[in-house]
Structure 1
Amino acid sequence: METLSEAIWFSEKRKELMFLLLQGSKSSEEIEKQMGVSWRSMMLPVKELKEIDLLFHEDGKYKLSSIGRLVAENAKPIADTMDVLDKNIDYWANRNLKVIPPRLCRRLGELNRFSLIEPELKDMFELPKEVVECLSRSNRIMSILSFFNPSYLSIYTEVASKGTELSLVLTEPVWERIKEDFQNEKDHLEKMDNVQVFLYRNDFTPPSIVVTDLFLLLSLFNKEGRYDHRDILSFDETALQWGEDLFLHYLDNSRKVA
């Protein structure tokens, strides 16, 4: 007889079925449709899971047992994280992940479906068009700027002037650069009631983040501490919540300046 770990990790169909049933009980027809497989191909995985008491059949529906739910709830975050890392293992292997608190590292799988933005040389210092468009349609923006890009400053000033709520965390070098060379934009932002500016001071540099009610853009430095213009872009709700939690982590270690 297989162990519980073998039951879920040694069969893709058993694993996906258990994760599907986390959403609630399903009929055989619903399982077929949502998993995109024939019921015939699922008969053996269902039988195997029933034999070790991970699921049962009742009132025409398949349901996780108490043990099955416990196993699936603990296994899914691990599986989701592995899926995220597998998509671009070379990217993740070269990131400085120490800037992400452990509790959010354990939730890395919430980034889910994302795109890795790698601009061409001619577009290296410009924001992706879809990001600019989404910023103009966002109702609220939370952002950490740990490296200076004048595009952000001009866009944030523009959208804030239209009433968009903006919470901005700046590292000290970025704040000093704005004060020295962009005094007009700084003064304009500080006058608006819908804008809050915070200064982050610590020994290490946080990632740059833009998270709104529409998307997440995450810029992680590589292990050498450099920004290599490779960004993560996601529109999934779980990714937006993950990004907001990361922003709030750094906000807690910042002081308000405007």
Structure 2
Amino acid sequence: METLAETIWFSEKRKELMFLLLEGAKTSEEIETKMGVSWRSMMLPVKELKEMDLLVFEDTKYKLSTIGRLVTENAKPVSDIMNILDKNTDYWASRDLQAIPRKFCRRLGELGDFSLIEPELKDMFELPESYVASISRSSHIMSVLSFFHPSYLSMFSDMASKGIEISVLLTESVWQRIKEDFQEQKGRLENIDNAHVFVYQHGSIPPGIVVTDVFLLLSIFNKQGRYDHRDILSFDESALQWGKDLFLHYVEGSMKVI
């Protein structure tokens, strides 16, 4: 007889069905549609899950049992993060995640179906086109920056002046650079009610995070402590929530300067 772990991990259909039912009870027709398979092909996985007391059938719908929900709620984050790491193993193996708190590393699976943006050498210091196109459709922006990029400062000032809610978190060194060399742009931000600037005061932060209501752009230092312009871009709702939560975590250790 299979163990609970074997029941989930040794069958893709059983695993996907249990993950689907985390959303709520489903009829056989809904399961067919959501999973894109025939019900006949699901009959054996359903039978096996019922025999393991992981699945119950009530009022024409299938749902997870108490044990099934407990197991699935713990298994799904593991599956999600394995999918993330499998997608770009070389990239993740070369990253230094120390600037990202452990509780957020455990949630990396929430990045979902992300793209890895690697600009050509000639475009290395330009903002990614997909980023520029997406940010123009955003109604609010939260950004973490540990390096100075004048294009970001001008863009954020312009967008804030159009009524878009802007919250930017900087390192002390970036803030000093802005105060010394970009007083005009600083003054513009100070005169806009919907612009907020914070300076982080506790340890290190990633080279860059931008999260809006449309997308998440994440930059992570490599193991040599350098930003190599390889960025993660995701439009998944779970990624947006992850990015927002991470930004608010950094804000808790920051001082508001604008």
TM superposition score normalised by structure 2? 0.96
Residue-pair matches, total: 258
Once residues 150 and 164 of structure 2 are traced to their aligned partners in structure 1, the CA distance between those partners, rounded to angstroms, is 19
Once residues 204 and 47 of structure 1 are traced to their aligned partners in structure 2, the CA distance between those partners, rounded to angstroms, is 51
Which residue does 2:191 correspond to in 1? 191
Shift of 1:11: 0.9
Identity of aligned residues (%): 71
Once residues 191 and 11 of structure 2 are traced to their aligned partners in structure 1, the CA distance between those partners, rounded to angstroms, is 59
Which residue does 2:128 correspond to in 1? 128
Which residue does 2:12 correspond to in 1? 12
Once residues 59 and 136 of structure 1 are traced to their aligned partners in structure 2, the CA distance between those partners, rounded to angstroms, is 47
Which residue does 1:38 correspond to in 2? 38
- 1:24-53: CA deviation from partner (whole Å, max 9, x where unpaired): 122222211111112222121111111111
Contact 2:118 2:231 in 1 (8 A): yes
Shift of 1:60: 2.4
Which residue does 1:239 correspond to in 2? 239
1:57 and 1:203, CA in 2 relative to 1: closer, same or farther beyond 3 A? closer
Once residues 120 and 141 of structure 1 are traced to their aligned partners in structure 2, the CA distance between those partners, rounded to angstroms, is 26
Contact 1:134 1:215 in 2 (8 A): yes
Superposition RMSD on alpha carbons, in Å? Answer: 1.3
Once residues 100 and 205 of structure 1 are traced to their aligned partners in structure 2, the CA distance between those partners, rounded to angstroms, is 7
- Where do residues 18-167 of structure 1 align in structure 2 (5 Å cutoff)? 18-167=18-167
Once residues 64 and 244 of structure 2 are traced to their aligned partners in structure 1, the CA distance between those partners, rounded to angstroms, is 32
Shift of 1:205: 3.8
Contact 2:198 2:254 in 1 (8 A): yes
Shift of 1:207: 3.8
Contact 2:207 2:219 in 1 (8 A): yes
Once residues 167 and 237 of structure 1 are traced to their aligned partners in structure 2, the CA distance between those partners, rounded to angstroms, is 20
Which residue does 2:220 correspond to in 1? 220
Shift of 1:155: 0.6
- 1:61-114: CA deviation from partner (whole Å, max 9, x where unpaired): 222111111111111111111111111111111111121112211111111111
Contact 1:99 1:207 in 2 (8 A): no
Once residues 2 and 36 of structure 2 are traced to their aligned partners in structure 1, the CA distance between those partners, rounded to angstroms, is 26
Shift of 1:8: 0.4
Once residues 22 and 199 of structure 1 are traced to their aligned partners in structure 2, the CA distance between those partners, rounded to angstroms, is 39
Shift of 1:169: 0.8
TM superposition score normalised by structure 1? 0.96
- 1:109-129: CA deviation from partner (whole Å, max 9, x where unpaired): 111111111111121111112
Once residues 164 and 76 of structure 2 are traced to their aligned partners in structure 1, the CA distance between those partners, rounded to angstroms, is 36
Residue segments in structure 2 that go unaligned for 5+ positions in a row: none
Once residues 142 and 160 of structure 1 are traced to their aligned partners in structure 2, the CA distance between those partners, rounded to angstroms, is 12
- 1:231-253: CA deviation from partner (whole Å, max 9, x where unpaired): 11111111111001111111111
3-state secondary structure, aligned to 1:192: coil
